Structure 1
């Protein structure tokens, strides 16, 4: 049983780990290090409720000060970890402060990927609370908006901007939105949805540069040479695990902190949340999941293992995206090239569940405005059922 646990990352995963440790009876020293000078908060609402104005920014805070205080943890907020010595079991913070530990949990999440020129006024990312508040302030001025990147974040921001009745153009080098997440079939429907709600799409086009005047962005030049005028640009081109502070630590850094099935990265070191790359026994593959529910679920397993458990983390990931009046929900994984079959409803009616199979097994199910049916069909992924077909559809309807 450790006597001194340090958690680097005052994130959803970091907070959940701290809470789980206390709930499981850990009474030793507990330190929570956070880069931002604020208590842990929820990030998914930033690109939706906060950006649209439906929520006040304070509402995203996960716990109030009194509740966090009951953890009896030393909070080091507004501090950055800059190094790790796994042999000496010490974390170095900015200012050269050293933190010793018996057990370390890395929960530093991800950082947004950048584009050249995104330091211009009017160019935004949506990663933290300050980002969302700053972008909303600019949107209230009624600008012309270009969103670069049509994944989860870019598609959600585009929907919010159209909900504010602003002109918006969605740009992506792939032929349909969200293709990397759900493939061509669903991506085409997402594209149709955006067009039906008045968004302009410039797909199959990369970004060459941002045009500017007086230090402020004026447009986005695409790979075909055309320029889309813009007063505000939102860069949503993905993220990268926040692991630069771990360089030279001896940890394996391969698309995040490389862990085993128990989320163990090295003796006395675990990782949780967006930064963790671990072997998921359920799918027999390594994965890294940037979704909110995973942060909490993985933290529970990490806390158990920090306290001496040997629990493998083998979830069926769950995630969702809200755009306009559409709710997409998904269980499992969605590898490129997976075979898809309609299990319920019809894409033409915009109410359906799609199954994804890989190697003869059902590995993912996606619901489009079909919450109840999707919950039933999730069992196909849990059971790793046969390739979708007549018997699969029948089994899904009987669930």
Structure 2
């Protein structure tokens, strides 16, 4: 590409910033324009429900690059600017003021938004969602010692906020329609571990329970009315029922869609050869598993952009990283790696009651699909090797802490 080429990046989160970094690291000297819908410099999102909410990190500490970096690397960073349309055939973007910008290559990194279920009262004052740093600041201000927080949803965000709130002496009730927390992400076996964890720390965890209404008084949330007719009083309510990928631009531009996102190959190229997609919106063909995988986790936003940039610059690269995520709740720290939407059994290695163990998700042939280390460190590479081997393991052997973690 020449210095007259324009590469546009739509999405001002971690993925967008990492793409800009990768372009300059690969000596692209053309015009790079990065559109960010928020007024903030690109930042990482995991701390919003973890260290930021706990008061352990400031925004500057998880901002990807300080403002001078964009200037020094000649990145045309346009904060508070949301692209309204993509003309794939004409290679142009439409901006909020009606002007257009031409591009040679385009990267979509538009991320996700908080899902907003049609619960009566969900737009009342005192009802919080958590996606941006402004959301996190507003929620943090509401978490006063001795106050009460009701959380709708026992997924990652809901549970991380519950842990942070309990650390600030806030009374917490979590309501979840499923039989266990994190059921879709981890299954019933590990969901039970997290249920026990939160109950031990004083969370009122209500499973198999629906929310019929967020109750209000004079326009302000006062709690929840549940499916059984009972109520939960609260000073603040957090709705944390998952994220919805921001795919409107991709759909409007005529790109192939599926699996809840934008269909991309292993190089992260869409159905249009000049448009790539990364992060939450990318339903990417995975070379190891042979299926499309779309995950809304930090690791993809961090590691997919360099692969996409390689393709944008005319090279060949494939994204074959194993899906990865982590959490820290109370005294439980864990890392999960792999992909196990369907599994035959879970094998535990170590002390589950003491929350110091490794869990493995196996298929019917005893191949390891995924693994999770809980307060056991320096085993992640071994777990990854087991997953990549794609060969049967002896369940009794991997369950024995005295045996090395290896296939066979």
Equivalence for 1:251:
255
**Partner deviation per Cα, 1:226-250 (whole Å, 9 max, x = no partner):** 1111110011100111012333311
Note if contact 2:150-2:173 (Cα within 8 Å) is conserved in structure 1: yes
Judge conservation of contact 2:151–2:172 (CA < 8 Å) in 1.
yes
Instruction: Name 2:306's counterpart in structure 1.
Output: 300
Q: Distance in 2 between matches of 1:71 and 1:388?
A: 52
Alignment of 1:202 with 2:209, yes or no, is no
What's the RMSD between the two structures over aligned residues? 1.7
1:37 corresponding residue in structure 2: 39
1:222 aligns with 2:226: yes
1:146-191 residue CA offsets vs partner (Å, 9 max, x unmatched): 0111011111000011111111001100111111111101100100
Aligned to 1:93, which of 87, 92, 95? 95
- How far apart are residue 331 of structure 1 and its match? 1.0
Secondary structure of the corresponding residue to residue 49 of structure 1: coil
Counterpart pick for 1:350 among 348, 355, 358: 355
Q: TM-score, normalised by structure 2?
A: 0.94
Q: For 1:378 and 1:396, how far apart are their aligned partners in 2?
A: 17
What is the SS of the residue equivalent to 1:54? coil
Q: Give yes or no for the alignment of 1:284 onto 2:290.
A: yes
TM-score by length of 1: 0.96
What secondary structure, in the 3-state scheme, does the structure 1 residue paired with 2:205 have?
strand
- Aligned position for 2:140: 136
Distance 1:73 1:164 in 2: 40
**Structure 1 residue 396: Cα displacement:** 6.3
CA shift, 1:300, in A, is 1.0
Aligned residue for 2:379, secondary structure, equals helix
Deviating 4+ runs (over 3 angstroms):
390-396
Residues 396, 262 of structure 1: alpha-carbon distance in 2 compared, 3 angstrom cutoff = farther
Count of residues in correspondence between the two structures: 398
The residue number in structure 1 matching 2:182 is: 178
Comparing 6-15 and 369-378, the one that deviates more = 369-378
1:397 lines up with 2:397 in the alignment: no
| Whole-angstrom distance in 1 between the partners of 2:377 and 2:287 | 27
**Could you tell me whether the CA contact under 8 Å between 2:70 and 2:77 is conserved in 1?**
no
Q: Distance in 1 between matches of 2:205 and 2:398?
A: 36
1:223-277 C-alpha deviation (Å, 9 max, x unpaired): 1111111110011100111012333311123212111121111120000111111
- Give structure 2 stretches of 5+ with no counterpart: none
List runs of 5+ in structure 1 lacking aligned partners. none
1:62 lines up with 2:70 in the alignment: no
The 1:390–1:303 alpha-carbon spacing in structure 2 relative to 1, beyond 3 Å, is same
Distance across 2 between alignment mates of 1:336 and 1:171: 25
Instruction: Kindly state the Cα deviation for residue 393 of structure 1 after the two structures are TM-superposed.
Output: 5.0
**What is the deviation of 1:57?**
3.1
Cα deviation per residue 1:179-204 (whole Å; 9 max; x = unaligned)?
11111011001000101000101110
Given that residues 383 and 405 in structure 2 are in contact (C-alpha distance below 8 angstroms), is that contact kept between their aligned partners in structure 1? no
Secondary structure at the aligned position of 2:94 is classed as strand
Q: Which moved more, 1:376-385 or 1:3-12?
A: 376-385
Q: Which residue of 2 aligns with 1:28?
A: 30
d(CA) in 2 for partners of 1:375, 1:61: 28
**1:359 Cα deviation (Å)?**
5.0
Aligned partner of 1:124 among 100, 124, 128:
128
